Amino acid sequence: MTRFLIAASALAIAASAAQAGDQIRITGSGTVYPFTAAVAEAFGKATGKKTPVVEATGSGPGIKLFCAGAGDDTVDFADASRAMKKDELDTCTKNGVKEVVQLTIGYDGIALANAKAGPAVAVTKQQLFLAMAKQVPDKDGKLVDNPYKMWSDIDASLPKANIVILSHPATSGTRSSIEDQILKPGAESIASLKDLEGKDAKAFEVEFKTLRSDGAFVEAGENDNAIVQKLEADPNSFALFGFSNVALNGSKIKAAKIEGEAPTMESVASGKYKVSRPLFVYAKKDHLASTPDMAAFIAEYMSAKAIGPEGYLVDKGLIPLPADKLKAEIENAKAMKALTADQLK
């Protein structure tokens, strides 16, 4: 028994030494995961090489792992549903990752969805802000705890139903897009808050980012399928999450109009539907030499076959880039131009 154990552990360690570096490893956003996994599978089938391992850790932790170092045992790509931040790139550089290439693969809209059986609504960003923020200005512009219980309290055109909005937790990339694209413009559209932004930007940020905790806004986790099921169970609840969920569950849920425009594949792609965000994949250029499959994987991902308007990712709910941007991105992927700090916020 003892001898067997020693032999087994020796074998395991010997085998592990030979393994590093030959398989592509990807970490990052749960929103981009379904797309990257599909490309990984297609790549594995087409080339007969090992299928890349795709982890769904969330954008932030994924980028952290990506930037942990440049060694063979670190990941090759990071998926992100938001752009990399400047200080994240700094960490990368500090840890020895010299060159990072940013690949934009497409868009994802953020939709306000409810059950098919629920009311059809059209909202503005300001109304969404008023429905979700912990504190809202009263008629004198003084901040008070959110008094709106029902949608109809905010605007008579909205349904007479309690406000319930489900969404992702604060760490998610989806949530930061909601903050940037719905809550911030919604808050800015109110004169007294616009003044506050001019006077005290910090306080303004706290104001629009702090959401109510009285049950009207619910952090429902990152599992979008579970959210879809909750919407079905309660026709009066709404969810703010990725449009691809609506596209793939059209028989169960529907999307509301935001600022007069309903999200569809076309309206998001053309930019008519304003609440959308680009999705990114970051590649570690330093690994091109040690992981030879990387170039082929990038070629598979950044091709019209995958991310073009007829590509297989579009069938999975990705909203394709417009034609000229697509061409530019494919060119950029071929050139592998490294990201610089001034391209980021």
Binding site for other proteins (CB under 8 A): 1, 5, 8, 12-13, 15-16, 19-20, 23, 25, 27, 30, 33-34, 36-38, 40-41, 44-45, 48, 50-51, 53-57, 73, 116, 222-226, 244-245, 248-252, 254, 310, 315-317
**Shortest CB 250 distance to other proteins, Å:** 4
CA angle 65/179/150 to nearest 5° reads: 135
The span from the CA of 203 to the CA of 143, in Å, is: 12
Cβ closer to other proteins: 207 or 224? 224
Cβ closer to other proteins: 20 or 170? 20
**Shortest CB 344 distance to other proteins, Å:** 26
The span from the CA of 274 to the CA of 182, in Å, is: 9
The region, left, alpha or beta by phi > 0 then psi within -120 to 50, assigned to residue 284 is beta
Alpha helices in 179-223 (DSSP H): 184-188, 191-199, 201-209
Cβ closer to other proteins: 56 or 131? 56
**Shortest CB 272 distance to other proteins, Å:** 17
Cβ closer to other proteins: 48 or 198? 48
Cβ closer to other proteins: 183 or 247? 247
β-strands 165-167, 238-242 pairing: parallel
Residue 320 corresponds to which tokens in the numbers above? Answer: 């394709």
Integer-rounded Cα Rg, in Å, for the chain is 23
**Shortest CB 71 distance to other proteins, Å:** 9
**Shortest CB 264 distance to other proteins, Å:** 9
8 A C-beta contact, residue 194 and residue 137: no
The span from the CA of 4 to the CA of 115, in Å, is: 59
